[in-house]
Structure 1
Amino acid sequence: MKINKIKYLALLMLMMSLTSCEKFFDLKPGDSTPDEDIIENERDAQNILNGFYSGLKSSAMYGRYLTILGDLMTDASLAASGFSNQMGEMYSWRYNPGSADVSLVWGAHYSTLYNCNFLINNLHNIEGDSANINRMMGEALTGRALLHHNLVRLYGEAYQPGMSESALGVPYVTWNDVREPSRNTVVEVYDYLIEDIEEAIELLPDEEENQSTSLTKSFAYGLRARIALDMQDYETAAEYASKVIDNSLYSLTSGASFTNMWKEDEGNEIIFRVGYTISDPGAAVGYNFFNRESFDQYPSPDYIPADSWIDSYESDRDIRKETYITYSQTRYGWAGNLVYKYPTATGYVQQGMNMPKPMRLAEMYLIRAEANAYLGNADDARDDLQELIETRISGYTIDNELDGNNLISFIENERKRELMFEGFNWFDLKRKGKGFSRIPQENTTLANDLVVNADNHRWIWPIPTVEMNGNSNMEQNPGY
């Protein structure tokens, strides 16, 4: 029994790290150990939960794609002269159902979901400390919601109030056996997201200390706020963002502490970080901004920041500008601005190795500000912006006349200044129904004059070919 259990847990880990060439939902071997024998106690359950967290480190998850790929696909970055063509199909908006990046993201999510569902469906079989079991169940439910939220925003239409009940989302998977699921609608997916998150909130304990490498109750609150913002449910978005903001364990940082949050992945502004360790061989989220094998070499960046994004910082005193951007000579023979948001934490060998931070307190302030702006509560929105920006620009004072559409536009730009290259800008453009235009600049190459309109069908990623071929119930998105 012990050998079978070890083999099965190893298989789970393998499935999280590899994308199968078979259909993605065919995840469970027919001769596997029965579920009730795999999860016999709390330690077994925690090992499976740890497998879920390990899956988040993959390059097809937060280790690279979910953190930077979306923003590399917008006008915030440009392919550098000397570009290696990594993620090139996605950057140039030429992806299709057979594109590797599209398949990797899909496969990594659904294989990692296996761990969440395994726990959710089997935790009732074990005895132990009820509070600890509830905590693991809450984390698994939150993880299931997080992964499905990512998927529906990539492979489905953007949620709109009153949208067609038939608009296709993604399969909301809650099982572990082999099936060929059809796609749930976008509305159904969001209903399931809310159901999972609200159940998780009831189970997760109140934090007694900062536990930012776990999906805590504060993270669940923040994800509920993020989902409500997608749905244009502004009252709920403000309510749940407030629950995080009001938690004294979290605070906005400024000055050297802000810079250190990015350099060493530490600080009470972080609500959740993907917990890489020195021994992890995982993907380096900032690699494509440097692309060099050793620190004594000049970088060979694949992507550089657009001048328009750099120029959006209205003050040279803005700590974000000096933290997120650096000027360097390159191996290509030119010098220029580089993205420095992932400068490499102490002890790591690979350049750009920092912990991705899928949720920070700053996002909660921006969610609440946007929600209040749409609700007509301009004073409250300005108060949140003042509190946030004064930690980034010493002595900052917001314009008290900022209101209406001008206030909303200001918040949109503030999200770009604060959250760029953390995986938000592409989703923000999509949910707002906006396109973009890249502006060519010096030291850049491929697809730098790209214009992407709001109605471009590639705002909805294609269902991967391997899934279409292996699942007779799967329907492809229009245009592919």
Structure 2
Amino acid sequence: MKTTYIGILLAGILGLSSCSMVGDIDDIKPYYKMESDNVVYNSESAESVLRGVYKSWRTFNVSTFRPYMSILSGTTASKGGGLTGGQEFVTNSIQADNIALSNIYQGTYLTINTANNLIKLMERGDAKGMPEQRVKEIIAECKFHRSLAHFQILRHFGYFFDLNSPYGIVLRNTPFEGTETATRASVQDSYTFILEDLDYAIANAATNSTHHYYITQTSAKALKAKVLLHMGKMAEAEQLAKEVIEEANNYGYKLENTFKSLFENGYESTEALFSTYTHGSLEVVSDLVSRTTYSEYTKRLADNLVNGETDGDLTTGQGYDFRFYFMFNPNSAGPLGNGKYPYASNGAGKHNTQMILRLGEIYLVHAEAAAHNKNYVAARESLQSIASRAGYANDYASTLSDNQLLSFIFKHKTLELFSENGEDWFDFVRYYKAGNIGLGDIKSTIKSESQLVLPIPQVALAGNKELAPNPL
């Protein structure tokens, strides 16, 4: 009898959480391989495999890549050189054989494959006795994960900012073993694939959940609004983000009253649209953010936004944006040296989580899209909601001119989300391509447009002869 998929999935996840997947392409085959006989046979077994899909987001290869991206953008700086391969991100000179690059590429495709495996089993009816509605919900959850993972790979390794570019990504909608060759889809086709999955999730996922580490229709709508923003479809992004904001409270989502409580509440936060679940000292999420500190760029930004002067006091926090000070204030930083990830080294507690998608971000997606659409009243309203929570005056957004608005939305989003999901880097790329920021305005080591897209990892190129590298 074949080895069960659950056993392979757990072995792969445990292996990923403790070591790199870098190596000969044959070495990664067990992580991708699926043996499908007698795997899902009832509701309980289906739910068990689904939990494996969720767990894939907190594997070592995926969860530890966040600090690399904030170093790449210049919103944080490396502390003590503790990130393996991190110096290439410091200098914006990443090479195809970089170990962290290989980890995130293969780790994210593992998420795609675990989702594809379960979709196949559910569609062929293996979950005997499971209500049809729940079958659809599980498929919808898997398609959300598949869309998010493809979106992440596209933003890291594709020309996500150019719908006419042929340099999209390899799309996977069926299980694979890691040895199949495939060409890259165009950027437009990549986005089309992602949106189709999200539309299914919007139509078929659960309407709400008491646990914010599970996917709902609202989560899918929020991600779609974010995807549309990256595509430059501002009118659609504005409308969908507005819908999410207006409907959020009906389904148990709302902004936290304080920025601090967002991270203290962790995966129980009302603001979390999707966050990683953790439990005890075994089900933890690894993060290397303790090996970073603030950059001079973020320090200046946090200082200048408050009173417009260089009067900030790092000891008291006076004169600094609260979100910056909260991140690095010794009184709130916690064992890992920062406020956003305040958990102890054993990982215990609900705050040992990573916010992958949250409502505060959707307010800023709405603000940016509305500003592009010259709907300045709506843009100011959403920006004000986020600024007020950070301690700015209740009329703050009204003091910004129409011409200033986009720039200040960018600045607030940087301080709101840096060190979370690489949004600071992707926003920099998008704003640069739109002509709203200079290439070297944040970091002097960014000198060429070729540095705006990460190279396809060498291990992926070696295993897929049809995979074209990114142009130099």
TM-score above 0.5: yes
Determine the structure 2 residue equivalent to 1:148: 150
Given candidates 452, 458, 468, the residue that maps to 1:459 is: 452
Q: Per-residue deviation at 1:11?
A: 4.4
Determine the structure 2 residue equivalent to 1:232: 232
Given candidates 60, 82, 85, the residue that maps to 1:84 is: 82
Determine the structure 2 residue equivalent to 1:212: 212
Q: Per-residue deviation at 1:7?
A: 3.8
Find the aligned partners of 2:3 and 2:76 in 1 and give their Cα distance: 49
| Structure 1 residues 135 and 159: CA distance shift in structure 2, 3 A | same
Q: Per-residue deviation at 1:24?
A: 8.1
Find the aligned partners of 1:21 and 1:267 in 2 and give their Cα distance: 39
Q: Which amino acid aligns with 1:49?
A: L
Determine the structure 1 residue equivalent to 2:120: 121
Q: Which amino acid aligns with 2:294?
A: I
Determine the structure 1 residue equivalent to 2:420: 422
Find the aligned partners of 1:356 and 1:398 in 2 and give their Cα distance: 30
Find the aligned partners of 2:464 and 2:375 in 1 and give their Cα distance: 48
Determine the structure 1 residue equivalent to 2:327: 324
SS at 2:329 equivalent: strand
- Does 2:293 correspond to 1:303? yes
SS at 1:78 equivalent: strand
SS at 1:452 equivalent: coil
Find the aligned partners of 2:22 and 2:400 in 1 and give their Cα distance: 52
Deviations 1:268-290 (A, max 9, x none): 122211112222364532x443x
Q: Per-residue deviation at 1:20?
A: 5.6
TM-score by length of 1: 0.82
Q: Which amino acid aligns with 2:327?
A: Y
TM-score by length of 2: 0.84
Task: Write the mapping of 1:42-441 to structure 2, written as runs, cut at 5 A.
Answer: 42-61=43-62, 63-65=63-65, 67-80=66-79, 82-86=80-84, 87-124=86-123, 125-126=125-126, 127=128, 128-161=130-163, 163-164=164-165, 167-178=166-177, 179-207=180-208, 209-246=209-246, 247-248=248-249, 249-255=252-258, 258-265=259-266, 266-280=268-282, 282-285=284-287, 287-289=288-290, 301-306=291-296, 307-314=299-306, 316=318, 318-327=321-330, 339-344=338-343, 348=347, 354-393=352-391, 395-400=393-398, 402-423=400-421, 424-433=423-432, 434=437, 437=440
Deviations 1:326-365 (A, max 9, x none): 158x9xxxxxxx6432222697379x97311011111111
Q: Which amino acid aligns with 1:245?
A: I
Q: Per-residue deviation at 1:426?
A: 0.4
Deviations 1:155-206 (A, max 9, x none): 1113335x24xx2111011111442111111111001011110011111121
- Does 2:466 correspond to 1:473? yes
Find the aligned partners of 1:60 and 1:4 in 2 and give their Cα distance: 24
| Structure 1 residues 30 and 361: CA distance shift in structure 2, 3 A | closer
Q: 1:263–1:343: 8 Å Cα contact kept in structure 2?
A: yes
Q: Per-residue deviation at 1:430?
A: 1.3
5+ residue gaps in structure 2? 308-317
Choose 338-347 or 196-205, whichever is displaced more. 338-347
Find the aligned partners of 1:415 and 1:242 in 2 and give their Cα distance: 17
Choose 464-473 or 13-22, whichever is displaced more. 13-22
SS at 2:409 equivalent: helix
| Structure 1 residues 175 and 215: CA distance shift in structure 2, 3 A | same
CA RMSD of superposed structures (Å): 3.0
Determine the structure 2 residue equivalent to 1:294: none
Choose 341-350 or 402-411, whichever is displaced more. 341-350
Q: Which amino acid aligns with 1:137?
A: I
Find the aligned partners of 2:405 and 2:33 in 1 and give their Cα distance: 59
Q: Which amino acid aligns with 1:471?
A: N
| Structure 1 residues 191 and 107: CA distance shift in structure 2, 3 A | same
Q: 1:24–1:111: 8 Å Cα contact kept in structure 2?
A: no
Find the aligned partners of 1:233 and 1:417 in 2 and give their Cα distance: 24
Q: 2:285–2:354: 8 Å Cα contact kept in structure 1?
A: no
SS at 1:271 equivalent: strand
Find the aligned partners of 2:10 and 2:340 in 1 and give their Cα distance: 34
Deviations 1:24-53 (A, max 9, x none): 8974699964x2532222222222221111
Number of aligned residue pairs: give it. 438
Q: Which amino acid aligns with 2:276?
A: V
Find the aligned partners of 2:449 and 2:219 in 1 and give their Cα distance: 33
Find the aligned partners of 1:24 and 1:217 in 2 and give their Cα distance: 38
Determine the structure 2 residue equivalent to 1:296: none
Q: Which amino acid aligns with 1:144?
A: R
Find the aligned partners of 2:289 and 2:32 in 1 and give their Cα distance: 40
Q: 2:322–2:391: 8 Å Cα contact kept in structure 1?
A: yes
Q: 2:381–2:397: 8 Å Cα contact kept in structure 1?
A: no
Find the aligned partners of 1:25 and 1:404 in 2 and give their Cα distance: 55
Q: Matched residues, percent identical?
A: 22
Q: Per-residue deviation at 1:140?
A: 0.2
Choose 191-200 or 2-11, whichever is displaced more. 2-11
Choose 125-134 or 93-102, whichever is displaced more. 125-134
| Structure 1 residues 387 and 369: CA distance shift in structure 2, 3 A | same
5+ residue gaps in structure 1? 290-300, 331-337, 440-448
Report which structure shows greater RCO (CA 8 Å, sep ≥6). Answer: 1
| Structure 1 residues 414 and 405: CA distance shift in structure 2, 3 A | same
Determine the structure 2 residue equivalent to 1:292: none
| Structure 1 residues 97 and 435: CA distance shift in structure 2, 3 A | farther
Q: 1:36–1:122: 8 Å Cα contact kept in structure 2?
A: no
Find the aligned partners of 1:98 and 1:273 in 2 and give their Cα distance: 30
Q: 2:8–2:31: 8 Å Cα contact kept in structure 1?
A: no
Determine the structure 2 residue equivalent to 1:443: none
